[in-house]
Chains A and B, each alone.
Chain A
Amino acid sequence: MVKKKNPLKSFGFFLLILSIVAFSIFPFVQMLSLSLKYQWDWGNPSLIPRKINLEAYKELLNIGQDLKNVPESVLTLLDETPELTSLQRAAILSKYQSTGEVFPFLRYFGNSLLLSLSAALLSVCLAIFGAYSFSRLRYRGRSVIQRGVLFVYMFGGILLLIPLYRLFASMGLLSTPTGTFVGLLVVYMVQTLPVSLYMLGNYFRTVPFSLEEAAMLEGASRMGIIMKIIIPLSASAIATVYIYSFMIAWNEYLFASVFLKNYKMLYTLPIGLKTLFVSKNAIWDRIMSASMLTAVPVMALFMSIQNKITGGMAAGGVKE
């Protein structure tokens, strides 16, 4: 390459990169900044809070909430109205003391975590065997299965939502909380299964067949090969697919909003956040800190395996 360092050009290039980065991360910076601002600071366009406000985080994570004072006006109101029964008093006070009623973040977080972890686990377990089967073994119908998996990519959630809702409702699954939870789990597993199958299938084809042959000569069964050779050798790919499936389930809103409509206890984070936003308890700092806490686990997971997942996406995401 010919060396031609034009300072104006490199400055332009620097600006270009800066603007790409700014465009990508500005909403995150805005989110972080607003979650730390006091209400009187919202109108200030500067991203740096004049005074750091950690109340919203403490409230969501339930730190030090028992010590929080009930507003003075409410206390005086209680003093001035002696006709209230003690039960009513307790009810009024509890409104201010437990913010868990306003937005039980930890419960929603737990629901989301349980659903996503188990849906991804089920999907990956099924996909390991399925993908091994159509990437390694020869039988009639194998190419149909391989292509069918790709075809399923084209179905949007809305196409499956109405029939699955009808099916599950007529089976009586949606009339109990446990049934609803299981139904949603199954839906998430199904939604991530095709992607898992496809990505794992692509990876298994890169594992050298000679290893399997050697094991077979020594008398290993096919099942033994999967357990002792394929799974350990593909550990990183399996982890990647697991996290990918986890993220799909963690982000899902459409099915959760329809299935969980009547079970507030079972809300996942996306539907909980949306409900909070349209309710009268919507305050920017609370919403933004809840957003931060929803995003951070996924982004941290992603960053930890970033190099592998981007490679996996390049291999699995596009058919060339």
Chain B
Amino acid sequence: MRELKIRKPTLPHDPPPIALAGMNARALREQRFGWALVSPSVFIILALILYPVVYNIYLSFFEFKLTGDNIFVGLRNYVGVITDSEFHLAIRSTLVYVFFSTVGTTLLGLGVALVMNKKFPLRGFVRSLILLPYVAPVISVVFSWQFIFDPVNGIFMDVFHNKLGLFAERFSLIGSPDTAIWVAILFGIWKNFPFTYLMILSRLQAIDETLYEAAEVDGASGWQKFKSITLPEVYFVVSALILLRVIWNFNKFEEVYLLTSNVKVLSVYTYLKAFTGTMDLGQGSTLAVLQFVILIGFILFYVKKVLKW
């Protein structure tokens, strides 16, 4: 195993293989030092991330009494959650939220990246301005969004009710779950498109200019150039970004809950179940397990079918 590793061609930035003479003592020392350096981080991750995840699975088989006793209930929490119609609603909201916010973020990010890849005056300034939504703390921007959609003073109702007359009366878009989810999706797109744009832009800048020049000589139109040069070049970045976005949006809590607690996506539903009202920690941990299982299932499917690894 050790021999194989040393003979394998090294990447340019990898440490070069150590000279074979006197390797054993040195390699041993290096091995020990390597573990000593990394062990605090590994210990912390094991103790405070992996162990809690396992503990969470364990908790999902118990019911918690206010007296502090835990009663083993087998699969009762799971049956309770799966037969609950609110859970089905939460799944549906999550799917709608994840699908539309991911599609929106990716398309907008791609479009903006294409625009920002062109030269224009003040480009550097514009590029940093449009990163602001991604950088600002969620809590500091949700209230501004709530004001925009405020039924009494908000600018949205001013434009669509007073100026355009699209709605017969002023109402709160965030007030009812059916419309609030679309506000949450729009908010998610606004908040996260800068990240997607930035990643795609850095890939676009690496494309060889001569490819476009050659295509122009052949008389290719703008669309043809996009389809046969740009798209294949960014395919991998875009599909990796979609995967990351799905993972992140599937677990999203803050951006939804702080904007509107009406939209009960899975994370919000779990939070409300576990930490408000009767504080059902048993069902809460069951929900967290189920959410994780669904996500892993999707990741495996996506990696096989879309990324074709």
Q: Which residues of A line the B interface, CB within 8 A?
A: 1-2, 13-14, 16-17, 20-21, 23-28, 30-31, 34, 42-43, 45, 126-127, 129-130, 132-134, 136-142, 145, 148-149, 152-164, 166-167, 186-187, 189-190, 193-194, 197, 205-206, 209, 222, 247, 250-251, 253-254, 257-258, 269-270, 273-274, 277, 284, 287-288, 291-292, 294-295, 298-299, 302-303, 306, 310, 313-314, 317-320
Tell me the total A-B contact number using a CB cutoff of 8 A.
265
The contact sample of 26 A-B pairs, CB cut-off 8 A, is A1-B213, A17-B120, A20-B112, A21-B130, A24-B129, A24-B130, A34-B147, A45-B155, A130-B37, A132-B37, A136-B15, A138-B27, A138-B31, A140-B31, A142-B34, A142-B38, A159-B56, A160-B52, A162-B274, A162-B284, A163-B56, A247-B135, A247-B137, A273-B143, A288-B144, A299-B132
* Docked complex Cα distance between A157 and B240 (Å): 21
Task: Determine chain B's interface SS by DSSP, over half rule.
Answer: helix
CB distance from B287 to the nearest CB of A (A): 8
Given known A30-B155, A190-B48, A291-B144, contact A162–B41 (CB-CB < 8 A): no
Flag whether B71 is at the interface (Cβ < 8 A): no
**Set of chain B residues within 8 Å of A318, measured between Cβ atoms:** 199, 237, 240-241, 244
CB distance from B259 to the nearest CB of A (A): 11
Counting chain A CB atoms within 10 Å of each CB, the highest count among B14, B49, B295 belongs to B49
B-side interface size class = 35 or more
- Chain A's closest residue to B157 (CB) is A45
Q: Which residues of B line the A interface, CB within 8 A?
A: 5, 13-16, 27, 30-31, 33-35, 37-38, 40-42, 44-45, 48-49, 52-53, 55-56, 59, 112, 115, 118, 120, 126, 128-133, 135-141, 143-145, 147-148, 152-153, 155, 158-159, 190, 194-195, 198-199, 202, 213, 216, 236-237, 240-241, 244, 247, 250-254, 257-258, 266-267, 270-271, 274-275, 281, 284-285, 288, 291-292, 295-296, 299
Q: Which of A17, A193, A258, A273 contacts B44 (CB 8 A)?
A: A193
Q: Contact: B41 with A270, CB < 8 Å? A: no
* Docked complex Cα distance between A162 and B53 (Å): 9
Q: Contact: B45 with A190, CB < 8 Å? A: yes
- Chain A's closest residue to B55 (CB) is A163
